[in-house]
Amino acid sequence: MRQMEKGKQLYEGKAKKIFVTENSKQYLVEFKDDATAFDGVKKDTLEDKGILNNRLSAIFFGLLESRGIETHYIETISEREMLVKALEIIPVEVIVRNIAAGSLSKRLGIPEGEALNKTVLEFSLKDDELHDPMINHYHIYAMELATAEEMAAIEASALKINDILTAYLKDKGITLVDFKLEFGRYEDRVILGDEISPDTCRFWDSSSGEKLDKDRFRRDLGGVVDAYREVLRRLEGGE
């Protein structure tokens, strides 16, 4: 890890802050300990959550890079910070679903925990004020959020990421239920951005079904940080 001077803060979200650097093509991402749910209605501060999400995201990005998926990750700068490529984020969140859970179960009446016959991709507009409403390709093209070529690349990448992560986590005794991805434009291509962590994924223990993700916070199950630590322990090969 190396020292790097933070520039002006560009953005602060629910879980991260983004700063400019001396290099116009690079940003510094700082992971926060803040936890929110239900569009910010439920809030808390969970000690070390930001540190854990920084480490976990670095592991996942490194894995994906090794398998041919380009990400915005460059290097880890400190326990809470990573250096990333400066993306123009496409305001379309991609939700990849393998097993029914959360809002999908509520909307479609599929019992939580039921495996889907086919992986489902859903899209939502990245807009906190509008509460990230679900959208489809017609909305995306009508609002000029992304081109058809960009969406084709995003969908292909999302499905490939799902295959990589599902197999990798299965070997760690973790079931990848669903997860959220964000993509952005970098130079002449679309690449993966944001983070991959228990904040943005549903991880269930493969044997017990125990939740190892942010649902522990959403559903008042307790042990949120302990669950994040358990995921990190498994990914780092701990016994």
Model pTM score:
0.95
Residue 42: pLDDT band with limits 50, 70, 90: confident
Residues of the chain with CATH 3.30.470.20: 88-223
Contact yes or no for 78/52 (Cβ under 8 A): no
Where in the chain do CATH 3.30.200.20 domains reside? 9-85
User: Strand, helix or coil at 161?
Assistant: helix
pLDDT (tens digit per residue) in 54-74 = 999 999 999 999 999 999 999
* Torsion angle of the four alpha carbons 190, 89, 147, 142, in this order, in degrees rounded to the nearest 10: 170
Mean pLDDT of 91-116: 97
CATH topology for the 9-85 domain: Phosphorylase Kinase; domain 1 (3.30.200)
Q: Which CATH superfamily does the domain covering 88-223 fall into?
A: ATP-grasp fold, B domain (3.30.470.20)
Residue pair 191/72 in contact (Cβ under 8 Å)? The answer is yes
Quote the pLDDT of residue 239.
Answer: 46
Query: H or E segment at 206?
Result: none
pLDDT band at 1 (very low <50, low <70, confident <90, very high): low
